[in-house]
Structure 1
Amino acid sequence: MATVLRVADPVAALVDAVGADAVRTDAATLELYGQDVFGRGAPLLAVIRPASVDALCAGVAAARAQGLALVPRGGGMSYTGGYLAADAGAVLVDTGALNRIIEVNETDMTVTVEAGVTWAALHERLAPLRLRPPVWGTLSGRFATVGGGASQNGMFWGARNGTIADSVLSMDVVLADGSLLTTGARAFRPYGPDLTGLFAADAGAFGVKARLTLKLVREAAAHAYGSYSFPDADGLLAALSEIAREGLASETCGFDPFLQAQRMQRESLASDAKALLGMMKKQGSFWKGLKEGAKVVAAGRSFLDEVPFSAHVWCEGRSQAAADADLAAVNAIAARFGGTVVENTIPKILRANPFGNVNSMLGPKGERWVPVHGILPHSRGKAAIDAVIALYESHADAMERLEVGAGYMFATVGSNALLIEPVFFWPQPVDAIHRAYVEPAHLAKLPGFPETPEARALVETLRREVIGIMAAHEAIHFQIGRTYPWADSLAPAGRRIIDAMKAAVDPEGAMNPGSLGL
């Protein structure tokens, strides 16, 4: 790890490189950028927010000339320490001002963007052209960025096609010395060994994403939505896995009773009404939209009250008949595993407004929230969730006493993987990051809580133990950050290759020290 040099005024060198307007050292900024959704890092020296790729290169080079460590940050939605400084005195690189969509190439079916473009902004630009990347963002895409997605990987919209990293063709990456590396061809990937893949999902350990070129596909012409009640997790998991194997749904998700109840409490029907117009526009005609909108209002938020476990499915196709046929096949699979059809409000609302608010960063009463997850082969899903439930039962007394709630979400990734995401809620005050991202009107209605160090300590213990369970069941992870033991999972030969690459692109270990476990 590089040692921070004690120079007269390292901040002045940063100002010379990127301009005074792009350097912040005030306490409020350093506090906000020094924390993620769950944790806090070591105190920062400064935050730089370059407004061009040239300025980004200059800023990185200036920081290294002063012996400063660098920490890249995208939209700030991490909860795994991905951009939390390991040691005091680092410079955080906020890529949010690199927010230009450089080219939409409809002939070659590619889009090139700067790293700070949000998924919401990209969707807004591409939607009128009926284009999108194969995997087109996470639910936090109002703030989450394309560069952050490439660094952390992730999925939701378009999950049938894999993960965000699968949609990236090439990247321009600023290395620790300030030089700019282009990772691959802009037409196809890979051309020889996959250099783009080596920089994808690197948690910022190998460089700062500056520009990215993504594949494009045509937006579907028609959509169909399904929601289902299952009496137990076994049936739900089996159904989701079979739906994924058959390739019937563009996206799937499922909730256990606890997380389902949290979601129903968190939002009001008024917020659904805001989404209603968008949903109606997507139904193809005024009268059909009016009919579907009326169903949402009539269902309100009571339609899942008696549902033990719920699954939600999005189908799409070149025609309404094709989308409806896929949904009919999904209905048959759900029935085979004990599922029954319920009102499909949730998938309709989410698809109409794919990048909504991120108020779910807090529980319905303002509880703190943090997930942990694993992506597993279908064959290991049931055993993993059984082990997680056994863990909760072993800590049940403490969880009840300290008011620590736990649930889990499910989703499928491609045709061959299942995501299990245990989620924890506990009483603790909100932090600066919540005040920055949760809607002020929503935040003002939450009662809040005093400090509860014992409850947080229990959550930290539960997270560690869940990660251990996931490792025992062959899970891998998105947004590795500083939370998941990726480096320790490598075979010796693999670790030697990664160490050699780190030494080649960052010989002093100054780029996001500690991320990936390096």
Structure 2
Amino acid sequence: MHIANDPLAAIAAAVGPQALVTDPAELRYYSHDVYSGGETALAVLRPNNKEELARGIAAATKAGVAIIPRGGGMSYTGGYLAPSKQALLVDTAAMNRVLEINETDMTVTVEAGCTWDQLQRTLKPKGLRALAWGTLSGINATVGGGMSQNGIFWGASGGTVVNAAISFEVVLADGTLVKTGSDFFRTFGPDITGLFAADCGALGVKATITLQLVREGAAFAYGSFSFPEAEGYFKAMSAVSREGLASECFGFDPNLQAQRMKRESLTKDAQSLVNMMKAQGSAWKALKEGAKVVAAGRSFLDDAHFSLHVIAEGRHQSAVDADMKAVEAIAVQFGGHGVENTIPKILRANPFPPVNSMVGPEGERWVPVHGFLPHSRLVEGWNRIQAMFAEHATAITDNGVTTGALLCAVNRSTCLIEPVFYWPDELQDIHRRSVESAHLAKLKQFPANESARALVKQLRTSLIGIFRELGATHLQVGRAYPLKQASDPRAWELLQAVKRAVDPNNLMNPGSLGL
């Protein structure tokens, strides 16, 4: 593809110089995701609306410049890292409006740069939320990024966040703006919305998104349980998931539980406590529940092994209480016992906390890797992962690397295993800008640690290989997970054909998805 003599001038002429960021320090910041770095892009495009977004993309690709879409910057699989300097990174943060809330048809339309936190705060006074309503990093993570990368957490009982989408407006490589689906129903013929969902920006850049709405729960019940063994934990989580008893069902292995409990006490966050108390619905209940949280402090999980945290949500308190009783019976059946349910209460009342956990409790670097597995393969997958860690135990200890795992039910057939790594290493600008300044000031400042970093890379690669052998699937495919190897060859050819049709010069996030 021919590169224009001055591509930046051509792009500036299309959108105006005020829409472009060229400051070297800012470009270095944008060249790094939570885990690794890429080439420094030519510039960052910050459009104010979909028309400006379309003009900027058209001018860039006409000049031979690649387009690299970036959401809120919270990903760690290379999805928005430029493969060359001849790239325009797209930041839709200024396109953050909630365009329409349709309470009759139960839909909401937002611009791609709207964060999950902003959307939730806008909908909550109306008693509404999106069907799947965001990831834990939703204070920064955007709806557009979620639709491109996919994600889970809030609303996980209904699957991943892309399940909530009805339609998109997508800008293709030539600047064409394409509308998928209808305003109220996703599939009329082949699912074109689904084609652009979880595409990691390889097929186009999301401009607007229309999502399904549901009524916010009026009644809640919370449960936390400790399990001595992994097998009992997974059997319990799978049973709760299969029965559809919980809106959220997640937990931690002993190592990650220990890491989380090293952080500041949950009760030290006064706002979290106040919000949790308000969420209980009555002043008397708020006082009782608040007293329980204060009394529990951090000690309630000191002896926990695997911890499972469950939230039941519905219209009637008697119904959700009955569901939680059923959850308790399942936990006991598989060797668990109840502990103080502080964690699900605080999280549900404060669904999008500051992203301080993107670094370790002492200031270590952090990165996850994950796989979705069916219930039938969870124990096998867990045992394979632990065997790999045991094989590298000496190197892990010598390099100061700590491991753990987040475990989460996704739907009636699937659960997530997400191993995480902490290691002593220098932080990047993305960490320093994302973590709260008061929290950052309390953390250690580690020097660069190439040895530990190389070990974490090796271990992540091994884990991805184990997940592939087990037939796992993944979110945030980016440039990290082997989509081609996991695909039927004819399906992969079909995806390549779609890519050629919408992006014939391979300028839309080249290399993402392995395309």
**In structure 2, how many angstroms separate the alpha carbons of the residues matched to 1:269 and 1:323?**
25
2:153 maps to: 156
CA deviation map 1:42-71 (0-9, x unaligned):
121100100111000010011112110010
How big is the shift at 1:273?
A: 2.5
1:265 is the counterpart of 2:248: no
Contact 1:370 1:423 survives alignment (8 Å): yes
How big is the shift at 1:17?
A: 1.8
1:228-307, aligned counterparts within 5 Å? 228-269=225-266, 271-307=268-304
2:8 maps to: 11
Q: 2:327 aligns with which of 325, 330, 334?
A: 330
**In structure 1, how many angstroms separate the alpha carbons of the residues matched to 2:411 and 2:46?**
35
1:135 maps to: 132
1:438 maps to: 435
How big is the shift at 1:303?
A: 1.0
Contact 1:82 1:203 survives alignment (8 Å): yes
TM-score normalised according to structure 2 size: 0.99
1:499 maps to: 496
CA deviation map 1:239-262 (0-9, x unaligned):
000000000000111111110011
**In structure 1, how many angstroms separate the alpha carbons of the residues matched to 2:145 and 2:407?**
23
Aligned length: 515
How big is the shift at 1:274?
A: 2.2
443-452 vs 338-347, greater mean Cα deviation: 443-452
Query: Residue 436 of structure 1 aligns to which amino acid in structure 2?
Result: R
1:474 is the counterpart of 2:504: no
SS at match of 1:450: coil
How big is the shift at 1:268?
A: 3.1
**In structure 2, how many angstroms separate the alpha carbons of the residues matched to 1:17 and 1:297?**
57
How big is the shift at 1:436?
A: 1.2
1:221 maps to: 218
TM-score normalised according to structure 1 size: 0.98
Contact 2:369 2:464 survives alignment (8 Å): yes
SS at match of 1:123: helix
Contact 1:231 1:309 survives alignment (8 Å): yes
1:78 maps to: 75
1:187 maps to: 184
1:60 is the counterpart of 2:57: yes
**In structure 2, how many angstroms separate the alpha carbons of the residues matched to 1:214 and 1:442?**
34
CA deviation map 1:339-367 (0-9, x unaligned):
10000000000000000110000001100
Query: Residue 224 of structure 1 aligns to which amino acid in structure 2?
Result: A
How big is the shift at 1:267?
A: 2.7
**In structure 2, how many angstroms separate the alpha carbons of the residues matched to 1:423 and 1:447?**
20
1:324-363, aligned counterparts within 5 Å? 324-363=321-360
Contact 2:267 2:297 survives alignment (8 Å): no
**In structure 2, how many angstroms separate the alpha carbons of the residues matched to 1:417 and 1:166?**
15
Contact 2:267 2:273 survives alignment (8 Å): no
SS at match of 1:419: strand
**In structure 1, how many angstroms separate the alpha carbons of the residues matched to 2:40 and 2:100?**
38
CA deviation map 1:73-97 (0-9, x unaligned):
1111100001001122211001111
SS at match of 1:44: coil
| Structure 2: segments with no counterpart, 5+ residues | none
1:44 maps to: 41
**In structure 2, how many angstroms separate the alpha carbons of the residues matched to 1:170 and 1:493?**
27
Q: 2:112 aligns with which of 88, 99, 115?
A: 115
CA deviation map 1:139-188 (0-9, x unaligned):
10001111100001111111111111110000000000001011111211
SS at match of 2:416: strand
Q: 1:240 to 1:270 in 2, by over 3 A?
A: closer
Query: Residue 501 of structure 2 aligns to which amino acid in structure 1?
Result: A
**In structure 1, how many angstroms separate the alpha carbons of the residues matched to 2:178 and 2:202?**
14
Contact 1:236 1:254 survives alignment (8 Å): no
**In structure 1, how many angstroms separate the alpha carbons of the residues matched to 2:25 and 2:137?**
23
**In structure 2, how many angstroms separate the alpha carbons of the residues matched to 1:120 and 1:79?**
20
1:92 maps to: 89
How big is the shift at 1:269?
A: 4.0
**In structure 2, how many angstroms separate the alpha carbons of the residues matched to 1:290 and 1:27?**
52
1:199 is the counterpart of 2:196: yes
**In structure 2, how many angstroms separate the alpha carbons of the residues matched to 1:272 and 1:227?**
20
Contact 1:488 1:517 survives alignment (8 Å): no
**In structure 2, how many angstroms separate the alpha carbons of the residues matched to 1:200 and 1:230?**
36
**In structure 1, how many angstroms separate the alpha carbons of the residues matched to 2:429 and 2:90?**
18
SS at match of 1:188: coil
How big is the shift at 1:270?
A: 5.2
How big is the shift at 1:6?
A: 4.6
SS at match of 1:102: strand
Query: Residue 125 of structure 1 aligns to which amino acid in structure 2?
Result: T
2:424 maps to: 427
Query: Residue 240 of structure 2 aligns to which amino acid in structure 1?
Result: I
Contact 1:272 1:349 survives alignment (8 Å): no
**In structure 1, how many angstroms separate the alpha carbons of the residues matched to 2:377 and 2:126?**
40
**In structure 1, how many angstroms separate the alpha carbons of the residues matched to 2:485 and 2:426?**
34
CA deviation map 1:460-490 (0-9, x unaligned):
0000000011111111000100000112222
SS at match of 1:16: helix
Contact 2:170 2:207 survives alignment (8 Å): yes
How big is the shift at 1:291?
A: 0.8
**In structure 2, how many angstroms separate the alpha carbons of the residues matched to 1:267 and 1:67?**
49
SS at match of 1:138: coil
How big is the shift at 1:454?
A: 0.8
SS at match of 2:221: strand
259-268 vs 416-425, greater mean Cα deviation: 259-268
Contact 2:32 2:38 survives alignment (8 Å): yes
**In structure 2, how many angstroms separate the alpha carbons of the residues matched to 1:502 and 1:397?**
45
Contact 2:471 2:486 survives alignment (8 Å): no
**In structure 2, how many angstroms separate the alpha carbons of the residues matched to 1:238 and 1:145?**
34
Q: What is the alpha-carbon root mean square deviation over aligned residues? A: 0.9
1:450 is the counterpart of 2:447: yes
1:387 maps to: 384
Q: 1:415 aligns with which of 412, 417, 420?
A: 412
Query: Residue 236 of structure 1 aligns to which amino acid in structure 2?
Result: Y
SS at match of 1:97: coil
Contact 1:273 1:297 survives alignment (8 Å): no
**In structure 2, how many angstroms separate the alpha carbons of the residues matched to 1:426 and 1:134?**
36
How big is the shift at 1:450?
A: 1.1
CA deviation map 1:387-420 (0-9, x unaligned):
0000000000000000111111100111110100
Contact 2:77 2:480 survives alignment (8 Å): yes
268-277 vs 506-515, greater mean Cα deviation: 268-277
369-378 vs 16-25, greater mean Cα deviation: 16-25
2:66 maps to: 69
1:513 is the counterpart of 2:510: yes
